Amino acid sequence: MPKYKTPLQDPYTFQWNNPRLMTPEECRESERVTGMPSPVTGPERDWVIAQAIRAYREGKPRDTTELTLEYRRLKAEGKL
């Protein structure tokens, strides 16, 4: 039996020196627990990172939570 119920509870899972990305299931669990959307690994995460970098370079940093919600809205509207 694992020591922790979920990987989100394991303090080693997301240490700075652990290069593993969260799985989509872990992203959804994190979002459910914290109430804050986090970009799911794959095209969503790539888009959010690209937009965050572009905004930072323009001198207008944006929160990835807002970008994640924007991606999901655009995806639902069929614009992506």
Given this model, what pLDDT does residue 42 score?
Answer: 84
Q: How many CB atoms lie within 10 A of CB 80?
A: 13
d(CA 51, CA 56): 8
> Mean of the pLDDT values across residues 66-76?
93
> Mean of the pLDDT values across residues 7-21?
67
> Mean of the pLDDT values across residues 65-78?
93
Domain ranges in the chain are 7-77
Picking from 45, 19, 46, the residue whose alpha carbon sits closest to that of residue 37 is 45
- Is pLDDT at 10 greater than 90 in this prediction? no
Given this model, what pLDDT does residue 59 score?
Answer: 95
In tens, the pLDDT along 18-58 reads 667 778 888 888 888 888 888 887 898 899 999 999 999 99
